[in-house]
């Protein structure tokens, strides 16, 4: 079950990085814009100041009249900037000496600049003063220059366009990097999720794969939780095992007593009751035994310590142990092992799985029939196949009967607890194999196969 999700780390990270990048891009744009404006103005002012001073240098008093020899260099300097237009006026205290009479000097003292409108166009203006030293005293002469700003604005616009492209480029680069950063920072979380997800239900080993420092507390918490879960599972398995043991021992005593009683009782209806009692005791005892077996299987699959197993030898040993039980029903138990097969696994678990399948084959067969255990392998898988000539699986097949405590409708008074196939399946699964169960295609009876990855 997936937990309810609120928000997304990836989205939050992306939004934060993109927000930061957008602010950065805008700040960068504004800085470049103000720098460009200042630089453009400064360079225009420098040129205007140089031109004004060059013009003032040519002002002289000749024969009582102010003479100006307009320097060509000053004008070429001023119009060199992308064909700007220039207006000038030279004033003496007596009035305009030369130049445009609609260009008034700027108010103030020293060299002063202003941005204003002249003849309907935005212009940058300068007024500079020079004091001509004459016999009768100093004569202040001012030169006023006004220069259009078209070229400046064009350069300024180009710089702004460049800054905008730069800002957008920076934002796009950061967007790509943010995507990558978000993906890499989420990566370890996804890997951890997958590694925990891939595990089998019994796998409660701690997570040992290295994780980033920020995730260490989370992994620590998961490991502690798994540890606690493992301990509590182990406790309940031990409890089941102990309980089963405690139940079986007195049950064995009760059964012996019941059998003794049966021999003594003569009245048929009393005998039937005692027989019923013995059957109930057998059911309980079997259930306790199977519960014990199942707890053992669960415990051992948790702590699987695989060893190399010769399946042929294991099959022989298991069949020999069950032979007395088969003989009680005159069932012939045969092992057919034409090829040797080896697997890696837990011997006790594999034996337990095979014992349960053989036990079923014997239990659900008519007396005097035969059960064959065939061992074969095809390179990848080694198979232990148990075939009987009994009643076969009921309608609905074997699949639902591998569930815990599931018994078929075909059991007809046969003692059992419904755990045999569960045990067998859990064992093969723990070994990376699978269980196949069904009825014989030719003739009556069932065929159950335990498949293990072969060595």
Ligand X SMILES: Nc1ncnc2c1ncn2[C@@H]1O[C@H](COP(=O)(O)OP(=O)(O)OP(=O)(O)O)[C@@H](O)[C@H]1O
| Cβ closest to Mg ion, residue 390 vs residue 420 | 420
The partner in contact with residue 417, picked from Mg ion, ligand X, none with C-beta cut-offs of 5 to 8 angstroms by kind, is: ligand X
Decide: is 449 part of the binding site for Mg ion (CB under 5 A): no
Closest distance of CB 335 from ligand X, Å:
17
The partner in contact with residue 167, picked from Mg ion, ligand X, none with C-beta cut-offs of 5 to 8 angstroms by kind, is: none
Instruction: Count Cα neighbours of 99 within 13 Å in the Cβ-side half-sphere.
Output: 26
Closest distance of CB 407 from ligand X, Å:
4
| Cβ closest to ligand X, residue 301 vs residue 449 | 449
Evaluate whether 38 touches 152 at the Cβ level (below 8 Å): no
| Cβ closest to ligand X, residue 174 vs residue 447 | 447
The partner in contact with residue 452, picked from ligand X, Mg ion, none with C-beta cut-offs of 5 to 8 angstroms by kind, is: none
The partner in contact with residue 129, picked from Mg ion, ligand X, none with C-beta cut-offs of 5 to 8 angstroms by kind, is: none
Q: Is 397 left (phi over 0), alpha (psi -120 to 50) or beta?
A: left
For residue 135, which phi and psi values (nearest 5 degrees)? -65, -40
Closest distance of CB 275 from ligand X, Å:
19
Contacts of 144 (CB under 8 A, 6+ apart): 88, 89, 90, 91, 99, 103, 104, 105, 106, 125, 126, 127
The partner in contact with residue 401, picked from Mg ion, ligand X, none with C-beta cut-offs of 5 to 8 angstroms by kind, is: ligand X
Q: Look at the chain and count its residues.
A: 455
| Cβ closest to ligand X, residue 124 vs residue 248 | 248
The partner in contact with residue 345, picked from Mg ion, ligand X, none with C-beta cut-offs of 5 to 8 angstroms by kind, is: none
Other residues' Cβ atoms within 10 Å of the Cβ of residue 260? 11
Positions 275 through 294 that interact with Mg ion (CB under 5 A): none
The partner in contact with residue 361, picked from ligand X, Mg ion, none with C-beta cut-offs of 5 to 8 angstroms by kind, is: ligand X
Residue number, nearest CB to Mg ion? 420
Decide: is 420 part of the binding site for Mg ion (CB under 5 A): yes
The partner in contact with residue 152, picked from Mg ion, ligand X, none with C-beta cut-offs of 5 to 8 angstroms by kind, is: none
Using DSSP's 3-state secondary structure scheme, residue 399 falls into helix
The partner in contact with residue 144, picked from ligand X, Mg ion, none with C-beta cut-offs of 5 to 8 angstroms by kind, is: none
| Cβ closest to Mg ion, residue 92 vs residue 411 | 411
| Cβ closest to ligand X, residue 307 vs residue 412 | 412
Evaluate whether 423 touches 352 at the Cβ level (below 8 Å): yes
Decide: is 360 part of the binding site for Mg ion (CB under 5 A): yes
How far is residue 281's CA from residue 356's CA, in Å, rounded to a whole number? 20
Instruction: Count Cα neighbours of 297 within 13 Å in the Cβ-side half-sphere.
Output: 27
Nearest to 144 by CA among 52, 61, 214: 52
Decide: is 408 part of the binding site for Mg ion (CB under 5 A): no
66: exposed, middle or buried (Cβ count in 10 Å: 0-12, 13-18, 19+) = middle
Evaluate whether 21 touches 181 at the Cβ level (below 8 Å): no
| Cβ closest to ligand X, residue 52 vs residue 401 | 401
Binding site for ligand X (CB under 6 A): 286, 290, 356, 360-361, 364, 388, 390-393, 401, 406-408, 410-411, 416-422, 446
Q: Which pairs with CB-CB distance under 8 Å and at least 24 residues apart come from 208-217?
A: 212/188, 215/188, 215/189
- DSSP 8-state code for residue 214: G
Number of residues that bind Mg ion (CB under 5 A): 2
| Cβ closest to Mg ion, residue 148 vs residue 360 | 360
Evaluate whether 370 touches 332 at the Cβ level (below 8 Å): yes
| Cβ closest to ligand X, residue 346 vs residue 359 | 359
Helical segments of 329-388, H only: 347-363
Evaluate whether 146 touches 106 at the Cβ level (below 8 Å): no
Closest distance of CB 287 from ligand X, Å:
8
Closest distance of CB 364 from ligand X, Å:
4
Closest distance of CB 305 from ligand X, Å:
26
The partner in contact with residue 418, picked from ligand X, Mg ion, none with C-beta cut-offs of 5 to 8 angstroms by kind, is: ligand X
Using DSSP's 3-state secondary structure scheme, residue 198 falls into coil
Closest distance of CB 360 from Mg ion, Å:
4
Beta strands (DSSP E) in 312-380 are 332-336, 342-345, 370-377
| Cβ closest to Mg ion, residue 37 vs residue 429 | 429
Q: List contacts with Mg ion (CB under 5 A).
A: 360, 420
């Amino acid at each position: 079950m997936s937990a309810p999700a609120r928000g997304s780390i990836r989205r939050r990270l992306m939004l934060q990085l993109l927000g930061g990048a957008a602010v950065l891009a805008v700040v960068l744009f504004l800085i470049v814009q103000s720098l460009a404006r200042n630089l453009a103005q400064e360079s225009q002012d420098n040129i205007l100041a140089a031109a004004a001073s060059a013009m003032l240098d040519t002002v002289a008093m000749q024969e009582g009249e102010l003479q100006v020899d307009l320097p060509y260099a000053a004008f070429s300097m001023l119009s060199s900037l992308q064909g700007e237009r220039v207006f000038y006026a030279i004033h003496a205290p007596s009035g305009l000496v030369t130049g445009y009479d609609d260009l008034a000097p700027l108010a103030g003292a020293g060299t002063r600049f202003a941005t204003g409108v002249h003849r309907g166009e935005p212009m940058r203006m300068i007024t500079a003063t020079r004091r001509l030293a004459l016999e009768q005293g100093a004569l202040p002469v001012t030169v006023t220059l006004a220069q259009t700003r078209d070229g400046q604005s064009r350069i300024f616009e180009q710089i702004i366009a460049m800054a905008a492209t730069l800002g957008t480029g920076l934002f796009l680069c950061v967007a790509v990097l943010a995507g990558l950063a978000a993906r890499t920072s989420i990566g370890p979380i996804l890997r951890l999720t997958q590694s925990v997800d891939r595990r089998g239900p019994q796998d409660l080993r701690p997570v040992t794969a290295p994780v980033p420092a920020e995730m260490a507390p989370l992994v620590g918490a998961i490991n502690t939780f798994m540890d606690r879960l493992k301990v509590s599972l182990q406790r309940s398995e031990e409890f089941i095992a102990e309980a089963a043991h405690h139940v079986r021992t007195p049950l064995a005593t009760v059964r012996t007593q019941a059998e003794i009683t049966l021999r003594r009782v003569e009245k048929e209806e009393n005998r039937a009751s005692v027989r019923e009692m013995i059957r109930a005791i057998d059911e309980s005892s079997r259930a306790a035994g199977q519960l014990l077996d199942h707890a053992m299987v669960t415990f051992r699959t948790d702590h699987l310590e695989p060893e190399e197993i010769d399946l042929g030898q294991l099959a022989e040993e298991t069949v020999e142990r069950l032979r007395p039980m088969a003989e009680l029903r005159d069932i012939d138990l045969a092992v057919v092992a034409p090829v040797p097969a080896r697997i890696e696994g837990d011997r006790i678990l594999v034996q337990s799985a095979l014992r349960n399948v053989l036990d079923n084959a014997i239990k659900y067969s008519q007396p005097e029939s035969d059960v064959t255990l065939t061992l074969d392998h095809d390179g990848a898988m080694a198979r232990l196949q148990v075939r009987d000539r009994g009643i076969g699986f009921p309608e609905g097949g074997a699949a639902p009967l591998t569930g815990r405590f599931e018994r078929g409708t075909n059991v007809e008074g046969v003692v059992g607890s419904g755990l045999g196939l569960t045990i067998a399946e859990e064992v093969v699964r723990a070994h990376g194999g699978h269980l196949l169960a069904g009825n014989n295609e030719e003739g009556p009876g069932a065929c159950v196969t335990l498949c293990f990855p072969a060595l």
